[in-house]
Structure 1
């Protein structure tokens, strides 16, 4: 067993096997049957590149063998920061075939995040594009390698430079070993198959181990609730490694059904509309900020979007008005609100829910053995209809973050329920409604930003005496970040100067504050702590009066 991994207790594992949720097959074995069954069907479209299920099987086999030849082995950790391209999918399946564990990093991550992921996981390999916009990955990954002895391999998408291997070449170059070599690799279905990333409140992100057993079930049950079948077509523009696009039901769920996935690298509405029309897309994944852009784009009326059956929205709560307007413009599509976490639990609105329930709630758990408690500050369950913190456990919800036993003691109840930090109440229908969160997070268009992480960096600025980062309302993104600071005597600071300073700390762009408030002192609570609630209310009031 991988050191630092928290397994499911034996009695719960036995129950989940008995109920048929866990099939005790690796993802590699699960998809071996899929690739064979749907061999001639189109699985993946990336621009002009089209791949059948047989193509993906053959190419990922070849890549897997070449990765083995480079020295990767089962349970090795790999950090890919790739955009929405076919190479990510081929790499994902290749890693599953050798039992290596990808870490769900994003192409928007920079030195700060990538370095943390490598340190936390002791990763042996990073995979990255040569550049993303004007940012060049190579020098950054080389720095990370120099600082971390575990990191031995650097794979670049495209032409390799000194010390790098070309991912493109590894996919295309015929492997030395026979494909039968892969069948000799033993993979324990109870081992992690991926590390998703937490949106935790601490400065260092936590790694979420998802096992072969639970991640396969996660995708299958999500696909069932989302009414995915072999004729379904998914357009994927959200970041490919996120839990929702990858597995809820995402790439995995659609491919389990023999369906088609269309990848696209940006969220320009006109390009998305054209792809929906061209490929007769049936399913679309969005965050509310993206859906708002789509329904307000004047080009929407120029395209035939009648193939859309479902628009799956996650990441943050959607206003009923947005759903109602979407229904007017695209009457064939259900806006399926869902609540999900990379840690596990998924709640989906159902297609047969009454209109008011679809409009007001985020759904209910997708599995009968998803256990949900809403608790108060003293750990007692609240009465039905009252607001409490969501705690959960079940056949696809983790039992502990990777390698942080002290943190796990705080985040899990003694009987194994995960304390999510999300505040909810149960709707009379039995569905749930999100009411906020206890966690110190800013939810910017579905990307969760740890306030503490950014605060720690801002405190390094020589002009700053104290800082508190708070969410501020935004019509498009839901929330953006405002940095409230107290400066040292005689110092001045502008937002532009602060952003330049943070950019030099090499963090992802979406974590940069978008407003700065300079105060002489912070409001404090009755316990003497900085009142972020009061700061947030102050900023919101200023925005209204501006």
Structure 2
């Protein structure tokens, strides 16, 4: 294990091998085997371009040779900031084959995040598009190189300008490359925390490929499966749950979309025969509204996954009737643990839970603030350990002491309860819980009640500081344009639903949209900042 990374204790590693979890596979070998077995089968579709498994394998070889000629070596860290384009897969498989380590950055990241990643990871190279969605990444690279002079290379997919063109790197592989071992780090993902700069999550070939195998099995993927990637593919959810890599592991076809709107996604579902796709809860609401009001052929779609945040029960109930497919709830994290509702689960489980662990060897603990296990059916802090959950962040000893228990359980930061049948119900983030004068308000619960109102399109509840109670609740609400609402009407509606008085939002703010994170989740951090700023302006008599 490379310096700064935490390996599984040897007895646990051996146990996972004996159980058949870790089979000694690497990503480079995985692609090679598919290319040999069914090379002519289409692996990736992007616009008019269709890439077979054999072509993807050959591109990975030639690009690995080019990276090596450029001076990249095993264990070199490479920041990869590419959108949903075929070069993303050619790049990462080339790096996998070489043994260099991708650090997955999201397209929305800017100077602050990229400079931090370059310096913290001691990156050797930074791979970007030229211009994407109107943003010039080469100008960003200028700023990054000035602030992080240790960065050796900038590689550009497209017009490289003064930098290295990705297209110029493909070279003939004149001799074999000694690839990585299965137990080696394959890449780094970024933590999804809402405060501070992201932490680096080291994933090995062994543990991540196991997660792909289990995900593909639970999601019933095979060579006929067609996965539509509408979310940024560098994010863990569309990468592996089962995502693009899970689909490639199963020998299926990945269709890349350059956006997630119904105008883009719905025609692709019809044209490419998409069988499965993954979205976040705000997109579920948009897609439901679009599918109900348009004539779209969504018949190929068998599974709509909802993850990244908790989907309200009210929205979940509509999916089968409106979209004509099975809803699969997905709850997981880049650090490891992934839960799915199963495709044959009864409706009440699919609607009201976030699934159960995908591996029989995932371990779950629910504990109180003092790390004592809660009573059965009680809500507690979710801790987990297993064959694909990391044992520590990269170069973060101080944080690891808080984020992991002495016996290797990861503290997810989520509040959850466990049903008698072993399914998790996520009650929100521990820090998303509002402490209103000692009364704890779970934001997710209030949001679900708000979404039951026929005039509410979406809702997000956050804490706002209060001198008397410590915190009060603020509900941000997106109403349907045809349904004018008032705060008084919504509060009365919540009372009629039997919600406790202390859970009724102290303030309601109506808005046209929510700020989003890089992967499309609602940014509650930004909403909290918005309400604080607004209240400060109102309190200032000079404004």
TM-score higher than 0.5? yes
Higher relative contact order (CA 8 A, sep 6+): 1
Structural mapping, 1:95-110, within 5 Å: 95-110=95-110
How many Å separate the matches in 2 of 1:170 and 1:236? 27
Question: Which residue of structure 2 lines up, in the alignment, with residue 537 of structure 1?
Answer: none
Question: Which residue of structure 1 lines up, in the alignment, with residue 343 of structure 2?
Answer: 351
How many Å separate the matches in 2 of 1:212 and 1:42? 24
2:259 to 241, 262, 266: 266
Measured against aligned partners, the alpha-carbon deviations of 1:399-424 in whole angstroms (never above 9, x if no partner) come to 00000111101110000000011000
Task: Say if 1:376 and 1:382, in contact at 8 Å, map to a contact too.
Answer: yes
1:432 to 420, 424, 427: 424
How many Å separate the matches in 2 of 1:298 and 1:439? 35
CA shift in 2, pair 1:422/1:351, >3 Å: same
Q: What secondary structure is seen at the aligned counterpart in 2 of 1:278?
A: helix
Aligned-pair CA distance for 1:181? 2.2
2:315 to 319, 322, 326: 322
Structural mapping, 1:171-190, within 5 Å: 171=170, 175-178=171-174, 180-182=175-177, 185-190=178-183
Measured against aligned partners, the alpha-carbon deviations of 1:259-278 in whole angstroms (never above 9, x if no partner) come to 00100111120221111011
Question: Which residue of structure 2 lines up, in the alignment, with residue 515 of structure 1?
Answer: 530
Aligned-pair CA distance for 1:4? 0.4
Aligned-pair CA distance for 1:429? 2.4
CA shift in 2, pair 1:250/1:409, >3 Å: same
Question: Which residue of structure 2 lines up, in the alignment, with residue 380 of structure 1?
Answer: 372
Aligned-pair CA distance for 1:90? 0.8
Task: Say if 1:111 and 1:144, in contact at 8 Å, map to a contact too.
Answer: yes
Q: What secondary structure is seen at the aligned counterpart in 2 of 1:17?
A: helix
How many Å separate the matches in 1 of 2:415 and 2:282? 21
Question: Which residue of structure 2 lines up, in the alignment, with residue 397 of structure 1?
Answer: 389
CA shift in 2, pair 1:355/1:516, >3 Å: closer
Task: Say if 2:282 and 2:522, in contact at 8 Å, map to a contact too.
Answer: no
Task: Say if 2:62 and 2:172, in contact at 8 Å, map to a contact too.
Answer: no
Answer yes or no: is 1:153 the counterpart of 2:153.
yes
Question: Which residue of structure 1 lines up, in the alignment, with residue 539 of structure 2?
Answer: none
How many Å separate the matches in 2 of 1:277 and 1:296? 18
Task: Say if 1:412 and 1:419, in contact at 8 Å, map to a contact too.
Answer: yes
Aligned-pair CA distance for 1:299? 7.5
Task: Say if 2:288 and 2:323, in contact at 8 Å, map to a contact too.
Answer: no
How many Å separate the matches in 1 of 2:87 and 2:319? 33
CA shift in 2, pair 1:187/1:91, >3 Å: same
Question: Which residue of structure 2 lines up, in the alignment, with residue 165 of structure 1?
Answer: 164
How many Å separate the matches in 2 of 1:306 and 1:472? 36
Stretch of structure 1 that moved more, 316-325 or 414-423: 316-325
Question: Which residue of structure 1 lines up, in the alignment, with residue 232 of structure 2?
Answer: 239
Q: What secondary structure is seen at the aligned counterpart in 1 of 2:344?
A: coil
Question: Which residue of structure 2 lines up, in the alignment, with residue 496 of structure 1?
Answer: none
Answer yes or no: is 1:112 the counterpart of 2:105.
no
CA shift in 2, pair 1:51/1:519, >3 Å: closer
How many Å separate the matches in 2 of 1:80 and 1:3? 21
Question: Which residue of structure 2 lines up, in the alignment, with residue 415 of structure 1?
Answer: 407
How many Å separate the matches in 2 of 1:201 and 1:305? 35
Answer yes or no: is 1:24 the counterpart of 2:19.
no
Aligned-pair CA distance for 1:519? 7.6
Aligned-pair CA distance for 1:322? 1.5
Q: What secondary structure is seen at the aligned counterpart in 2 of 1:213?
A: helix
Task: Say if 1:270 and 1:299, in contact at 8 Å, map to a contact too.
Answer: no
Question: Which residue of structure 2 lines up, in the alignment, with residue 485 of structure 1?
Answer: none
Task: Say if 2:80 and 2:102, in contact at 8 Å, map to a contact too.
Answer: yes
Task: Say if 1:108 and 1:509, in contact at 8 Å, map to a contact too.
Answer: no
Aligned-pair CA distance for 1:356? 0.9
Aligned-pair CA distance for 1:140? 2.3
Aligned-pair CA distance for 1:437? 1.1
How many Å separate the matches in 1 of 2:289 and 2:390? 39
User: How many residues are aligned here?
Assistant: 466
Question: Which residue of structure 2 lines up, in the alignment, with residue 527 of structure 1?
Answer: none
Task: Say if 1:201 and 1:440, in contact at 8 Å, map to a contact too.
Answer: no
Measured against aligned partners, the alpha-carbon deviations of 1:263-320 in whole angstroms (never above 9, x if no partner) come to 0111120221111011111001111111110110167642211111111111111112
Structural mapping, 1:361-376, within 5 Å: 361-376=353-368
Task: Say if 1:197 and 1:205, in contact at 8 Å, map to a contact too.
Answer: yes
Aligned-pair CA distance for 1:472? 5.0
Aligned-pair CA distance for 1:229? 1.0
How many Å separate the matches in 2 of 1:381 and 1:517? 36
Q: What secondary structure is seen at the aligned counterpart in 1 of 2:188?
A: strand
CA shift in 2, pair 1:518/1:40, >3 Å: closer
| Structure 1, unpaired ranges of 5+ | 445-450, 452-467, 477-507, 522-546
Question: Which residue of structure 1 lines up, in the alignment, with residue 78 of structure 2?
Answer: 78
How many Å separate the matches in 2 of 1:204 and 1:470? 26
Task: Say if 2:382 and 2:411, in contact at 8 Å, map to a contact too.
Answer: yes
TM-score by length of 2: 0.81
How many Å separate the matches in 2 of 1:383 and 1:3? 40
Stretch of structure 1 that moved more, 246-255 or 404-413: 246-255
Aligned-pair CA distance for 1:116? 1.1
How many Å separate the matches in 1 of 2:394 and 2:322? 44
Measured against aligned partners, the alpha-carbon deviations of 1:449-476 in whole angstroms (never above 9, x if no partner) come to xx9xxxxxxxxxxxxxxxx999854459
Question: Which residue of structure 1 lines up, in the alignment, with residue 122 of structure 2?
Answer: 122
Question: Which residue of structure 1 lines up, in the alignment, with residue 498 of structure 2?
Answer: none
How many Å separate the matches in 1 of 2:533 and 2:43? 53
Aligned-pair CA distance for 1:191? 1.7
How many Å separate the matches in 1 of 2:93 and 2:262? 30
Task: Say if 2:76 and 2:101, in contact at 8 Å, map to a contact too.
Answer: yes
Q: What secondary structure is seen at the aligned counterpart in 2 of 1:515?
A: helix
Aligned-pair CA distance for 1:202? 4.2
How many Å separate the matches in 1 of 2:149 and 2:257? 35
